[in-house]
Amino acid sequence: MKRHGQLWIWLLAGGLLVASAVVYVLQIVIFDDSHATFFYIFQDLAFLPLTVLIVGLFIERLISVREKKALVHKLNMVIGIFFSELGNPLLAELLPGMCSAPEIKERLHVNASWKKADFERAAQFARTLDCKFELELIDRAALKKHLVSQRHFVLRLLENPNLMEHERFTDLLWAVHHLEEELQMRTTVTDLVPADEAHLEVDARRAFNALLAEWLVYVQHLKSDYPYLFSMVVRTHPFQDAPSPIVTA
């Protein structure tokens, strides 16, 4: 099939060259002016490198930029669906297990007045966050049930070829999927030996840190491009004492 496609291209190219040659010959025969014909042939050839330059470097780059913007828009839609369906509830479930939970809530209490500098400070804090996770502080059975119920959702996202362009988000999905696998493969998550519990705590902290970093990028994107969605996040994010979708002011 591939060979047939290449043959078709070669036949088309050959046909076009023959057609061009025929037209030039007819021009010479009809107007009896080979000098002018060859003059314009060489003039067209002289302009050809400039044409390649314009098409190759400028027009193609403009098309590439437009395609990249369209891809980023699609990726942001996928990321938004992820946080609505799984990411935001998972942050709320894992947050109590972080030993620095009070400081995290204080540093990441996003509100309507946040500016670019506020997001940058929060992102710096998230990147350097290194605190212990205690599994006993969360409802691990409920966490397992929630993650297992969303298993196919995460796998479908991992099958999305567009996400290969977004390495951070792909790493986040793998971290969440790995935590789900670890919990799902255990018959019990409430009576663990210390070494096994410590292993799960590392997996949970990895997933939380990845969620936190990507959540900040996503929320900042909403702040600049989708203020009505940002308003919902401000009211419902887990880094506040009483999240609620109700508008009070």
**24: pLDDT confidence band, cut at 50, 70 and 90?**
confident
Domain map (residue ranges) of the chain: 2-62, 76-236
What one-character-per-residue DSSP string does the chain give? -HHHHHHHHHHHHHHHHHHHHHHHHHHHHHH--HHHHHHHHHHHHHHHHHHHHIIIIIIHHHHHHHHHHHHHHHHHHHHHHHIIIIIHHHHHHHGGGBTTHHHHHHHT---TT--HHHHHHHHHHHHT----B-GGGS-HHHHHHHHHHTHHHHHHHHT-GGGGG-HHHHHHHHHHHHHHHHHHT-S-SSS--HHHHHHHHHHHHHHHHHHHHHHHHHHHHHHHH-HHHHHHHHHH-SSSSS--S----
Query: Among 74-78, 133-137, 211-215, whose mean pLDDT is lowest?
Result: 74-78
pLDDT at residue 1 greater than cutoff 60? no
Quick check: pTM over 0.85?
no
pLDDT at 59: 64
Question: Residues 101, 107, 112, 114: what is their CA dihedral angle, to the nearest 10 degrees?
Answer: -160
pLDDT at 65: 63
